[in-house]
Amino acid sequence: MVAEDNWNYWVFTPNISGTFQGESNSKSMSLDNSFSAKRITTKSRASLDGYFNYDNKKFKVNEKDVAVGYTSYGLDARYVKSFKEHW
């Protein structure tokens, strides 16, 4: 007897993390997010991976406030079809 797979072989993985730091002359914040969706069967493999990162830093230089920030993001999709039943 085979159990029914309500997710149809899909596996989803979300990730969220962040750091916050501060001192009298500097502050920083970093947020990192990613997501993956994968499906593996005897006939094919499919995956979708994405990420979004945000960093922001503030500090004082010669009594002036300076802010630096950047974001990065990406997306990757793959599909592989099997020639045989076993990988």
DSSP state of 12: E
* 85 found inside a domain: no
Q: Can you give the residue range of the structural domain that contains 49?
A: 10-78
* 3 found inside a domain: no
Give the number of C-alpha atoms closer than 13 A to the C-alpha of residue 53, restricted to the C-beta side.
8
> Residue 11: pLDDT above 90?
yes
Q: How far apart are CA 46 and CA 71, in angstroms?
A: 27
Point out which residues pair with 47 in neighbouring strands. 38, 78
C-beta separation of 58 from 69 below 8 A: no
Residue 67's pLDDT is what?
95
Confidence of residue 83 (pLDDT cuts 50, 70, 90): confident
Confidence of residue 86 (pLDDT cuts 50, 70, 90): low
Helix (H) / strand (E) element for 82: namely none
Confidence of residue 87 (pLDDT cuts 50, 70, 90): low
**Number of domains observed in the structure of the chain:** 1
Q: Mean pLDDT score of the chain, rounded to an integer?
A: 92
